[in-house]
Amino acid sequence: MKLKLKQFFLNSGRDKIVLFSSVVALAFVLFYYSEFENKGIAYVAILVCLVFISFSFAKIKSPTDKIDEYQLVEDRNNELEDFDGIFKYNKYGFSFIEEDSQEYVKWSEIVEVNAFSIRFFENTKQSGYEIITAQKTYKLDAESAGVYKLTNQLADNLPTWKMDSPFNKINNGIEKANLYKKED
């Protein structure tokens, strides 16, 4: 309901002005119907007003403007970028909950970050990140809550982040792309 109201008020004010003007014109025609009837244009005037009202109302109720669609997508992306999910960040690293225990990873301890994609069936893939430190390897699913913000945080805090790395097939349908490797 909240989204529908937001869409309604995001629409162009011009459409609402046309709708309001058409309603006022229709009221005027109906009020002075006998005057218009004598001139033989009453039905045409009423029909024109009803057509304008119908199209204006339809335009307001079902927006097709690319700007409105873009704004909704932009709002959704902003929500994803701000959503921490299972992660908490500070300037030295991040923590997250993995299998009922909280793990903390320092930015300086990350040795390598890989993106992976595993094909299960013909149309089913699972993807995510593999974060390797000297002590442990963490595998995070792309569906994990807050992984979108994690991607941005990794790119901001690791010096040589490569988003355009190609995927290489390893075996059994596993594909990996190296996004970061600590230089010795």
Average pLDDT of the segment spanning 28-37: 74
How far is the C-alpha of 110 from the C-alpha of 103, rounded, in Å? 13
Reported pTM: 0.56
Query: Which residues lie below 8 Å from residue 94, measured CB to CB, with a gap of 6+?
Result: 87, 88, 104, 105, 107, 150, 153
pLDDT in tens, 149-171: 888 888 888 877 777 766 667 77
How far is the C-alpha of 83 from the C-alpha of 90, rounded, in Å? 15
Neighbouring C-beta atoms of residue 13, cutoff 10 Å: 8
Residue extents of the structural domains in the chain: 2-80, 85-181
Q: What is the pLDDT of residue 41?
A: 75
CATH number of 85-181: 2.30.29
pLDDT in tens, 116-157: 877 777 777 777 888 888 888 888 887 778 888 888 888 888
Q: Please tell me the total number of residues recorded for the chain in this structure.
A: 184
